[in-house]
Amino acid sequence: MTTAAAFHPMRGDVYEGNTIQMPNGDVWTIQSGSRGWELIDQCGQTVYQQTENEGANALASFIYSHS
């Protein structure tokens, strides 16, 4: 588990099953989806889903913008 503030793709934080503690208390889990990485909340809802042309930096940008 990591926090949104400490999350960084260059430190290996983007991997299947990693959880991110958001400032509001939510916990998001990284999963591999059909198009790339997805973020799933604790209710099982998709919070973020990459498009085919996005990489780990897009995932990180989404996390940073919501922290």
Domain boundaries of the chain, sorted by first residue:
2-65
Amino acid 33: pLDDT: 84
Q: What are the strands of the beta sheet with 19-21, ordered from one edge?
A: 2-3, 19-21, 27-32, 37-40, 46-49
Amino acid 39: pLDDT: 97
**Which one has a higher pLDDT value, 35 or 26?**
26
Q: What is the pTM for the complete model shown?
A: 0.90
Instruction: Give the containing element (helix H, strand E) for 50.
Output: none
Nearest CA among 34, 35, 39, 36 for reference residue 2: 39
pLDDT tens digits along 28-63: 999 998 888 999 999 999 999 987 778 888 999 999
